[in-house]
Amino acid sequence: MKWRSLEESNPATDTRPLREIFAERKQLIAQYVPAETQAIHARVVEELKQAGIAGRTLTAGTKAPTFELKDHNSKLVSSQALLRDGHLVLCFFRGRWDPFCCGQLEAMNAVFSQIEQAGASLVAISPQTVQQSFFMADQHKLRFPLLSDAGNQVARQFGLVYRVPDYQQAVYRRAFVNLPFANGDESWELPIPATYILDRDSTVVYASANPDYTARPEPTEILSLLHPLSS
């Protein structure tokens, strides 16, 4: 299934809260995806919660690692260079095949100008290849860099990485979600979705990491946190 961008779905930019957009996508999934498949995805989320993965991620007050990654145009992007200009918003996402990742990045794209006005930069990081990120940026008209984190090296330093269990790999294969092709390796590893705001010295001032891939912070929440930081 091709998940249409918000621009394709509506003549104007969709200004609804992200939770409403996600509710609509969940409704479509409930309608068209077999119940046993939905149960498998829910089982993985529950197992990640039980394993306490969210409790091992970077939290507010800690120092984030510096990184240098290629964007969707193969240009090297340095976190240190971005932080010299102001705060940095990081969105870790799973890939262009995930409708919830697409929805989140489109919603962040809608407020991108306001993020810049607040004196911050925005980048999104995933394990997908540069080519896959290029396709995503082009399809969804994204105006910020999509960084390719080969082997989840940066996501691992943030404590976000897990291996897709074998029983879920089979579901992905049937749905033509070819992670080895999309990510350029055979690890079947993904990051749990996470959003961070970094201060100029790489200190985490906001952290949201959730193994439930259908739960992401509202862009308005990110903006409300950035404005006091820029004053």
In a domain, 41, yes or no: yes
CA angle 205, 44, 63 (to 5 degrees): 20
Task: Specify the CATH number for the domain of residue 130.
Answer: 3.40.30.10
In a domain, 5, yes or no: no
In a domain, 126, yes or no: yes
Give the model confidence (pLDDT) of 58-70 as tens digits.
Answer: 999 999 999 999 9
Nearest alpha carbon to residue 87 among 123, 58, 55: 123
| d(C-alpha 147, C-alpha 170), whole Å | 27
- Check residue 94 and give its pLDDT: 98
| d(C-alpha 203, C-alpha 9), whole Å | 38
| d(C-alpha 118, C-alpha 203), whole Å | 18
- Would the pLDDT of 29 be above 70? yes
In a domain, 207, yes or no: yes
Give the model confidence (pLDDT) of 117-153 as tens digits.
Answer: 999 999 999 999 999 999 999 999 999 999 999 999 9
In a domain, 150, yes or no: yes
Total of domains in the chain: 1
In a domain, 7, yes or no: no
- Check residue 3 and give its pLDDT: 46
In a domain, 4, yes or no: no
In a domain, 32, yes or no: yes
- Write out the two tokens for 218: 């509202």
Give the model confidence (pLDDT) of 59-114 as tens digits.
Answer: 999 999 999 999 999 999 999 999 999 999 999 999 999 999 999 999 999 999 99
For the whole model, what pTM was predicted?
Answer: 0.93
* Per-residue confidence band for 4, with pLDDT thresholds at 50, 70 and 90: very low
CA distances from 96 to 25, 102, 130 (A): 15, 6, 12
Nearest alpha carbon to residue 214 among 60, 8, 28: 28
> Which residue range forms the structural domain that includes residue 77?
14-230
Residue 152's region, left for phi above 0, alpha for psi from -120 to 50, else beta, is left
